[in-house]
Amino acid sequence: MAFLELHDLKTHFPVPGSGLFSSTSDVIKAVDGVTLKVEKGSILGLVGESGCGKSTLSRTVMQLQPATSGTVILDGENLTDLQRNEVRMRRLDFQMIFQDPYASLNPRMTVYSTLAEAICQRHPNLKKDRPTLTQKVSQLMATVGLDSRYMRKYPHEFSGGQRQRIAIARALAPEPKLIIADEPVSALDVSIQSQILNLLLDLRNDLGLTMIFISHDLSVVRYIADEIAVMYGGKIVEYGNGEEVFHNPKDEYTKRLLSAIPHFKATA
Ligand SMILES: Nc1ncnc2c1ncn2[C@@H]1O[C@H](COP(=O)(O)OP(=O)(O)OP(=O)(O)O)[C@@H](O)[C@H]1O
Ligand SMILES: [Mg+2]
């Protein structure tokens, strides 16, 4: 069994106002029968155009959005069976990294407070143990390539790339089983993008991190992902080893995505 398994996962939303004048109501099939596997220590790249259901899929995997049907199995445990109070603790096993670290970090909290709070979500007993917390915060900062002398600084005192490093450290702090990165480099300068991608690759190699990396940019996904899943209209239309998907796309939509990359020919 793979580390993360999705079986025929569906997330449908009712269309507001539909069903008023008829017995059938319309639904938006944001996620419509997704079956996927992610092995421990690997990076799944999830690509597809805006509105195809990438974020809804990740919210459903994290149990932030209830599934309409289907199952999510993480580390052998069926999360779709859990009771509400159990779900809250399990959410720590999933951490997200977002596109805009400035919006996702609290501007009034120092790096120390942000990371200490995230560490204490997993280890509440450390709340009063400042020396251990300080040591753990230093370690986390070092892990993401930040100087721990800056732990008393606020998000606005860092550059965009450094802020994304803080956001990555915060995601690591509760020792998650899976990281979901939703367009984590789209808001960064191209030169900074590769630094963050390399950091994520290093973390995968050094810590055995398992990750779903969401992007609409196939060239970024190709760089970082082991497996690629192409999503279209709530369904996975193509799935396979990264290089395979690139060199031998089977689906028409994937071929169109590939041909939209400058200097790339799907037939090459
Ligand atoms: N809470 C919700 N209620 C109703 N419809 C929703 C809800 N969340 C998402 N949708 C719809 O589900 C579909 C998929 O949206 P989603 O945000 O998952 O796409 P996405 O692939 O993440 O897009 P983007 O690349 O722009 O982030 C869209 O049609 C969206 O309008
Ligand atoms: Mg999205």
Tokens encoding 54 = 């990438």
At 262 the pLDDT is 65
pLDDT at 264 over 90: no
Tell the residue nearest (CA) to atom 1 of ligand 1.
13
Cα–Cα distances in angstroms (integers) from residue 195 to residues 144, 227, 230, 251, in the given order: 11, 21, 25, 32
Distance CA 218, CA 36 (A): 19
pLDDT at 263 over 60: no
For the chain, the helix, strand and coil percentages under 3-state DSSP, each to the nearest 5: 40, 25, 35
Distance CA 185, CA 193 (A): 5
11 lines ligand 1 (CB under 6 A): no
Lowest mean pLDDT among 17-26, 68-77, 85-94: 17-26
50 lines ligand 1 (CB under 6 A): yes
What structural domains does the chain harbor? 4-259 (3.40.50.300)
Mean pLDDT for 126-141 is 97
Compute, in angstroms, the gap from residue 183 CA to the centroid of ligand 2: 8
215 lines ligand 1 (CB under 6 A): no
Compute, in angstroms, the gap from residue 50 CA to the centroid of ligand 1: 8
Q: Which numbered atom of ligand 1 lies nearest the CA of 14?
A: 4
Length of the chain in terms of residues written = 268
Residues 6 or more apart whose CB falls under 8 angstroms from that of 92 comprise: 121, 122, 174, 175, 176
73 lines ligand 1 (CB under 6 A): no
pLDDT at 265 over 60: no
53 lines ligand 1 (CB under 6 A): yes
Tell the residue nearest (CA) to atom 31 of ligand 1.
51
pLDDT, tens digit, 9 for 90 and up, residues 42-56? 999 999 999 999 999
Tell the residue nearest (CA) to atom 10 of ligand 1.
30
**Structure pTM?**
0.92
pLDDT, the chain, mean: 92
At 21 the pLDDT is 66
> Phi and psi for 64 in degrees, rounded to 5?
-85, -25
Neighbours of ion ligand 2 (CB under 5 A): 55
83 lines ligand 1 (CB under 6 A): no
55 lines ligand 1 (CB under 6 A): yes
27 lines ligand 1 (CB under 6 A): no
Distance CA 116, CA 109 (A): 10
> Helix 111-122 vs helix 130-143: angle between axes, to the nearest 10 degrees?
110
| Ligand (nearest to CA of 65) | 1
Q: Which numbered atom of ligand 1 lies nearest the CA of 59?
A: 18
Strands (E), 48-203: 69-74, 77-78, 94-97, 178-182
Pocket test for ligand 1, best of 9, 11, 13 (most atoms within 8 A of CB): 13
Count Cβ neighbours within 10 Å for each residue of 128-143 and write b for 16 or more, e otherwise. Answer: eeeeebeebbbebbeb
| Ligand (nearest to CA of 215) | 1
At 19 the pLDDT is 66
CA angle 220, 171, 114 (to 5 degrees): 130
Nearest to 164 by CA among 203, 131, 192: 192
Tell the residue nearest (CA) to atom 29 of ligand 1.
51
Mean pLDDT for 147-166 is 96
Instruction: With beta carbons less than 8 A apart as the criterion, state whether 209 and 41 touch.
Output: yes
